[in-house]
Amino acid sequence: MEADVSSRLKQVLRYLPASVGIVTSYSLDGDEPVGLAMSAVMPMSLEPCSMAISINRSGSSYPSMISAGEFCLNLLDTDTYQFLEPFVGSRLREQRFGCDWQKHGKLWYIPNAPANIFCKIEKVVSYGTHDLVIGKVVELLTRPSSDLLCWADGSLGRFSRLQ
């Protein structure tokens, strides 16, 4: 029964468009950036301003992100699409943080992204294979964009208004 519900839920989740971003943090020794592509992000609260991300505990970036105690969510658009490819698999792992990235403290961010949301981890809630990581927003950089990337129906696309 559980397997049947899981496969049906996967199909239903294809109908839920989600923003696409790259979440960054840094290694346990603080010297190397780590990151992962993610669509499991959501605003948590405006008082206090906070964001939540869902991270698989078996992922290679997980230990570093949790121990660093902070992360940056870089939302993407068509102007920053090229940053995504090195993060969707391990094949291009060495090319993840190239010359177009900048640092804010120890966190790496994409300077021309529509939004860079810098968060301090406030709470971690474990459920199943993932942790819901809630971060208090401590800094925010934004740039207007009308071509935000999203993930829906198993494909990368962009948001467009009906009118």
Q: What is the pLDDT of residues 99-151, one digit of tens each?
A: 789 999 999 999 999 999 999 999 999 999 999 999 999 999 999 877 888 88
In the predicted structure, residue 10 carries a pLDDT above the cut 90 = no
Containing structural domain, residue 144: 20-39+61-120+137-158
Q: Give the pLDDT confidence score for residue 75 in this predicted structure.
A: 94
Residue 144 lies in a domain: yes
Residue 14 lies in a domain: no
Residue 50 lies in a domain: no
Could you report the per-residue pLDDT of 62-82, keeping only the tens digit for each? Answer: 999 999 999 999 999 988 888
Q: What is the pTM (predicted TM-score) of this model?
A: 0.89
User: How many Cβ atoms are within 10 Å of 132's Cβ, its own excluded?
Assistant: 16
Number of domains in the chain: 1
Residue 151 lies in a domain: yes
Residue 104 lies in a domain: yes
In the predicted structure, residue 15 carries a pLDDT above the cut 90 = no
The CATH code of the domain that includes 34 is: 2.30.110.10
Average pLDDT in the chain: 88
Residue 55 lies in a domain: no
Residue 130 lies in a domain: no
Residue with tokens 């920053």: 80
CB of 86 closer than 8 Å to CB of 130: no
Q: Give the pLDDT confidence score for residue 7 in this predicted structure.
A: 86
Residue 68 lies in a domain: yes
Share of the chain above pLDDT 90, in %: 53
Q: What confidence tier does 1 reach under pLDDT thresholds 50, 70, 90?
A: low
User: How many Cβ atoms are within 10 Å of 116's Cβ, its own excluded?
Assistant: 24
52 vs 120: CA distance, rounded Å: 11
